[in-house]
Structure 1
Amino acid sequence: MVQQPAPRTDPILSAAGMLRRIGFFILMIGVPTLAFVSRRALVALTPIAIALIIIAALIDGANKPLRESRRVLLSATPAIATLVLLGWIALSLIWTPFFDPAASRVVSILATTALGIAAYFAIPARMRSANLYLVPIGVAAAALLAGGIYLAQMLGVEAAARLVAGETYLRGLVVLVMAVWPAVAWLSSRGRDAQALALAVVVGAASALSPDKAALFGFLAGATICVLASAWPAKVAAAVATGMAVAILAAPALPFLATPLGAGAPGSLLESLAIWRATILADPWAALTGHGIEAVLRSRLAGALSWNAPSSILFEIWYELGVIGAAAAATALAGAVRASARRHAALVPGEMAGFTSAFVMAALGVATTQMWWVTTLVVVALIFIAGARGQFRTKRPRIMLPGLARRE
């Protein structure tokens, strides 16, 4: 019997596949784990990973046709609202009192967004399952690392104690909470519900390890929405979209509703709301245009805004971008939630959980305009997109054996 020669593989295509795998390895394993030990790992590694994915797409052309991807992207309401928001952020440089730092922040935001869009075009039309299983592996490794660092701190290791007490550890937990939802969504879509539940429990336990409970509250909110969306995906998606939009648009009413409760003790929530109310009354016209991007942080440093002012995305949007920026942000966010719910049903619970966790943590004071947070959102969005492009099934041909065919 003559043995058939093995099919020859194209070394160029193999190289492209290797580059793509390395890129996703960095995004899905390197980013969530190294975020616990390095402040700059997230911002430094993400462009490298995206560059490798783009190079792989240029080599093998496995990505969707650019015309189709561009048409889908530019015809979507969330994308248009996001472009309006980015344009308004750039336009706010005209009236911001802190032009130099604001211009630097605008350039960074636009560059990160452009990098994310380029990666969106470069992600293959059909993602390999082997690459997507890197997501739960990376999340599990990051959760174990978080627990190991905390245990070392309890045992008296000085370096671990410094990590837990600093901002780097909290950032790592925030990244971990955001990364767990695409991992849970992917495992659930493969029928691995037990592994998805175990992974969520491990991350939930890890999120409780930081003295700052923003990551824990974000995880609990996301987990609640994930469970509800598993039962009522359409209703929960509509509720999440509406709730987030209303929270953004109605946020300035909160300090006025809290007025009868008094100013509150120094450092309390009531005092923060009283400061917000005072800023609105001092300059009502600023509610229309805002004070410009980066104004919250720079005004605090300059003494023009109290450090006890709210640390929340809701306050920052209105203080920096005004009603126009708030309307664009609400439209973009609500549209993105609704668009996600219309795609692959298996991913909807995880996607709703991701939106909820991000919104809750931002509302609780996660540094929303800092580049590590913006980059985190881009990375998580890309992982969800990759997971959506891995939702395909190949139909295996039926084999009919002689004599076994059913007779009519």
Structure 2
Amino acid sequence: MSCENNESKQLKMYHNWEDYNLDEDLVRGIYNMGFETPSHIQKVAIKPIIDGKDIRAQAQSGTGKTGAFAIGSLQCVDRNLPCTQVLVIVSTREIAAQNASRFKEISMYMGINVCLLSGGSSVSQDINNLNINPHVVVGTPGRVDQMIQQNHLKTDKIKLFVIDEADEMLQSGFQEQVKSIFKSLNRNSVQIAMFSATYEEEELRVSEEVLKDPVVIDLRQDNQTLAGIQQFYINLGKDESPRKDDYSVKCSTLVDLLKNYSFGQTVIFVTSKIKANFVYNGLMQHEIPCELISSDLTQSQRVEVLDRFRSGANRILISSGLLSRGVDIQNLSVVFCLDVPSEDKKSTYIHRIGRSGRYGKKGFAINILHEHEFLNLTKIEKFYNTKIVQLAHYHLEQFKLNKE
């Protein structure tokens, strides 16, 4: 494990909540959530946040990163000061809603106001929520920046700025909005905390420009990046289609597996909405119940789809990417990947299969690919020092899947 700051000093680990000298009401909320002891990332990341240090933390999805920055942030809030003191930005509406809910749950005994700002919601309602001067604001960059520019979100008292899924937030799609938000803050008094499961070279470069003397926590060397997730591939052979994009064979292979085995909660990842619709129609034609989540759905429709999946009312979910980051589905058993990310987007693979195997549970990832796609898969395998093996019948027996 690498848990070191810029001076390469070993960070102290705190194994019990009582060791942090946390607010009593905060501790009540933590125990009420069922968190008996800190997770690995929480043992090393909470204290630097409380101490006011900039931080860049990297750890596998599902290891408790949200809890780490939520607990650290809440300890820093002055409950007697009616103003926004903590700002958290994330890449999607779903993650924003999830993180805001986590803040509310942990702070339930503290009397702290938490406000969610995200696209797709009512602007007038957001303004009303900001008028009560929430202590914590969680949101997506576009809506947060809009509220700042319109002077509805006051930033002069913000002392902690948290960037979740930082590798995504520092890429070109969000970079201008994040820069605009950053410029509105008082850098002399604002602490910055970045959290992600992965960082590419460009995001690391940007973080080095932004962070001041940061504490760097990197748990990848603990082999946690893919720990607990068994990875397999199915080789469909040569793709004879003109565009080398034959999804019909992939879909029929997927149908065979889903008809013959009971995988439990399952997510199927593809790279586009067109492909997602193709797979959805293919499964429905074979009377395999499933649902599709994509950016074409309204925010309320997305929430309903996720709620049905989390509750088990729907067991198969097809995603064109919305679920590949941050969204917490604790009972997810299997992830199917029907294509491989390009080399410059290899972290997408980690985020996808990281939906399974969360919180110490076993997870399974099955890649259904044509021959020409294995070059990128091999590069991913080498880069993350992991092993992806060919799926065999005995692996399915190991899954304890029963014929229906």
Does TM, normalized by the shorter one, top 0.5?
A: no
Give the number of the structure whose alpha-carbon radius of gyration is greater.
1
Structure 1 length-normalised TM:
0.27
Q: Which has the higher contact order (CA 8 A, sep 6+)?
A: 1
Greater strand share, structure number: 2
TM score, norm. by length of structure 2: 0.27
